[in-house]
Structure 1
Amino acid sequence: MPTSSPTAFDPNQLVIRPLAGPGELDLFLRLSYSLDHELADDLATGRRVPEWMWVALDGDRLLGRIAWWTNAAGGEPQALDFFDLSPELSPEERAAIGLRLLETATAAVVPAGTRRPEFGRFLPADWREVPETRALLESVFGVLVATGARPLVERLRLEWRPGTPVPEPKGRLEFRPVRDREDLVALMTPVMEGTLDAHGQADLASGLSAREAAEQHYDEEFAHYSSPREWWRVAQLPGTGEPVGFVVPARNNYHHTIAYIGVLPAHRGHGYIDDILAEGTRVLAAVDVPRIRAATDLGNVPMAAAFARAGYDAFEHAINYVWDAPGVAGP
């Protein structure tokens, strides 16, 4: 006679709801993810609100959780960055509960008729080789796909630590601070036209011009950095002052980072990326940061190689899924 598993539950008893308030954070933390330590501060600063943090409960047992994030208090949800399902569940149970949780919460959080925010997840670099990790993640990815999402890109997450040598300037380039928004956007535009970055390519495929994509990137990300704009650098040829590229060293809400780096198309093939990345690293190293984070697409082999030459170690992967159409698919 088949017997029910110890994790069996009555689907009719499943409760899916948002957190009642910050006091329920401990409930949300009964499942785990590498960003758990950021949640309390995110709630305190308004980057998250309890109404965006949902749980699936069987009695007092947490079977799933989901949450959205924004970069500044009062904004619309910008990213879906928490989606966890209990490892005690069978794959079939994870698929069913995950779908109900995702669709119920999305209908309440994401404004009707708008595109769902992108899903992002940090992953161990060996996630495909560890059966338990792969099974859990593929359950989550399967739910996303069932609602109309598609994988956009897998990325390398990189880190530079103090004590790592920073190359001295070679003298091939001079560097000056970015003057203003137009100064940087004008340089970002030609870089965007030939980008290998999957997010940039998606922006262009959506119908945005390279200029519009550059402006959107600046306004949605760079404009919110609280770190000094004087850190941002334009690389130029000595004597003529002709721009070669740029780098944006910054501090986001969580880490110091090389937020963006680019070489103008006319100057590619000369190894300038190494000089520009070294300058961005020097800027941050000079203010004694505890670490520098960066990321690049797994398929962008030249950029990954440049980070490796500069002493950045790949410590993790990240994956992004996107929905191309607005609305809730629903089961």
Structure 2
Amino acid sequence: MTSIRTALPHELPALLEYPDDAERNAGTRAYLGQLLDARCTRPEWCLVADDGQGRLVGSVVLGTLPGQEIPYALVLFEAPDDGERIGGALLDAAVAKARELGAQELEHVVDSPAQAPQFQRGPERRGELLRASGFRVVRDGRRFGLRVQGELPPDDARLTFRSLADLGHEPFVALLADLLAETADARLAADVERYGARRAAEQLFADTPELEHEPQWREIGFDADGTPAVISLPAVNPTVAVIGFVGVAPAHRGKGYAASAVVRGTRILAANGAEEFRGDCDGANTAMAKAFARAGYENFADRLEFSRSL
């Protein structure tokens, strides 16, 4: 009989492997190894489905950001193609474990087409399993990527950038509150409806520092008239450099400043050693999608973001 249990030490970091998918096996093994080394997950957060004879037929891993002790996401999830019961049991076990550890919400993302390092084959089926377990789609997103192959575009001469180290916290939260009041991002719009623009801004600014960054990377770009026009929050997550968040004040939209901020964030990350970059936006945020394209990024995948309250 199949049972759900914590992975044994010798089963890490490989967990469930597929006999005819060497690329996936190597990629997810390396990814989980990185997460364990960075303490973005823990051995006791790695759950497996055991067929009763020691053979693994499914797995799920809880994850968090560096320095945090409470999981917020499922970072790996695998279930057999014909194993709806097993997939549901794994998700239920992960939810129970996350709740036991103090989590109030749990997230999971599903990329299409399947991407390294999670290699999520069968995105439609994964979505069905997540919905059946109480998860709901909170964002239909687009993923963008860039690998530096030459000189990056120059900064926008119309903007003067000043950093968090120079300005302090308040101007960033004030600008975020202004732009979130008219956001095209479904997830952020839901936060505004739930908390109000100011609190949603404070929450967004409090969450993003959990990614690796330096205070001087976080900037506001000021228009020639001296008013704050655009915010840029580049960072590095456990596996890749990310644009993080870009937003334009409503009074300055339509000037191409979002693309300018993407370029600026890319230049900062490149100056600090990054060669590959990622960014994402809501599928409905066509202005941000155009900004990534103008900055040289390519839309390499779509991403459904799921969430479940615990």
Do Structure 1 and Structure 2 share a fold, with TM-score over 0.5? Answer: yes
Aligned to 2:45: 52
Aligned to 2:211: 225
Residue 174 of structure 2 is aligned to residue 186 of structure 1 = yes
Maintained 8 Å contact 1:66/1:82 = yes
Q: Give the residue type in structure 2 aligned to 1:252.
A: N
Q: Secondary structure at the match of 1:117?
A: strand
**Cα displacement string for residues 239-292 of structure 1 (whole angstroms, at most 9, x for unaligned residues):** x42111111122222221111111101111222223222222222233342112
Residue 159 of structure 2 is aligned to residue 166 of structure 1 = no
Alpha-carbon spacing, 1:113–1:53, altered in 2? closer, same or farther (3 Å): closer
Please give the alpha-carbon distance, in whole angstroms, between the structure 1 residues aligned to 2:67 and 2:262. Answer: 32
Offset of residue 27 of structure 1: 5.1
Q: Give the residue type in structure 1 aligned to 2:278.
A: R
Maintained 8 Å contact 1:164/1:311 = no
Offset of residue 317 of structure 1: 2.6
Residue 222 of structure 2 is aligned to residue 236 of structure 1 = yes
TM-score of the superposition, structure 1-length normalised? 0.81
Offset of residue 220 of structure 1: 2.1
Alpha-carbon spacing, 1:146–1:305, altered in 2? closer, same or farther (3 Å): same
Aligned to 1:106: 95
> What pairs with 1:272-283 in structure 2 (closer than 5 Å)?
272-283=257-268
Root mean square deviation of aligned Cα:
2.4
User: Among residues 74, 79, 86, which one is paired with 1:85 in the alignment?
Assistant: 79
> What pairs with 1:69-148 in structure 2 (closer than 5 Å)?
69-86=63-80, 89-90=81-82, 94-111=83-100, 115-124=104-113, 136-148=122-134
Maintained 8 Å contact 2:40/2:63 = yes
User: Among residues 249, 257, 272, which one is paired with 2:242 in the alignment?
Assistant: 257
Residue 26 of structure 2 is aligned to residue 38 of structure 1 = no
Aligned to 2:195: 208
Please give the alpha-carbon distance, in whole angstroms, between the structure 2 residues aligned to 1:73 and 1:232. Answer: 20
Please give the alpha-carbon distance, in whole angstroms, between the structure 1 residues aligned to 2:97 and 2:267. Answer: 45
Maintained 8 Å contact 2:218/2:234 = yes
Q: Give the residue type in structure 2 aligned to 1:211.
A: R
Please give the alpha-carbon distance, in whole angstroms, between the structure 2 residues aligned to 1:226 and 1:145. Answer: 32
Q: Secondary structure at the match of 1:194?
A: coil
Aligned to 2:21: none
Residue 290 of structure 2 is aligned to residue 305 of structure 1 = yes
Alpha-carbon spacing, 1:171–1:39, altered in 2? closer, same or farther (3 Å): same
Q: Give the residue type in structure 2 aligned to 1:19.
A: A
Q: Secondary structure at the match of 1:80?
A: strand
Maintained 8 Å contact 1:95/1:139 = no
Residue 185 of structure 2 is aligned to residue 197 of structure 1 = yes
Q: Give the residue type in structure 1 aligned to 2:40.
A: R
State how many pairs are aligned: 297
Q: Secondary structure at the match of 2:246?
A: strand
Alpha-carbon spacing, 1:63–1:231, altered in 2? closer, same or farther (3 Å): same
Alpha-carbon spacing, 1:35–1:27, altered in 2? closer, same or farther (3 Å): closer
Q: Give the residue type in structure 2 aligned to 1:287.
A: N
Offset of residue 97 of structure 1: 1.2
Offset of residue 184 of structure 1: 1.4
Offset of residue 187 of structure 1: 1.3
Identity of aligned residues (%): 32
User: Where in structure 2 are there 5+ consecutive unaligned residues?
Assistant: 19-23
Q: Give the residue type in structure 1 aligned to 2:12.
A: L
Aligned to 1:6: none
Maintained 8 Å contact 1:29/1:36 = no
Offset of residue 67 of structure 1: 1.0
Please give the alpha-carbon distance, in whole angstroms, between the structure 1 residues aligned to 2:234 and 2:67. Answer: 24
Alpha-carbon spacing, 1:114–1:73, altered in 2? closer, same or farther (3 Å): closer
Aligned to 1:269: 254
Offset of residue 66 of structure 1: 0.7
Please give the alpha-carbon distance, in whole angstroms, between the structure 2 residues aligned to 1:177 and 1:146. Answer: 45
Based on CA coordinates, which of the two structures has the bigger radius of gyration? 1
Q: Secondary structure at the match of 1:110?
A: helix
Offset of residue 300 of structure 1: 1.7
User: Among residues 34, 43, 66, which one is paired with 2:60 in the alignment?
Assistant: 66
Alpha-carbon spacing, 1:104–1:162, altered in 2? closer, same or farther (3 Å): closer
**Which consecutive aligned stretches of 4+ in structure 1 deviate over 6 angstroms post-superposition?**
none
**Cα displacement string for residues 2-54 of structure 1 (whole angstroms, at most 9, x for unaligned residues):** xxxxxxxxxxx112101134x32155142557554221122123211122111
Please give the alpha-carbon distance, in whole angstroms, between the structure 1 residues aligned to 2:283 and 2:150. Answer: 23
Maintained 8 Å contact 1:51/1:109 = no
Please give the alpha-carbon distance, in whole angstroms, between the structure 2 residues aligned to 1:237 and 1:112. Answer: 46
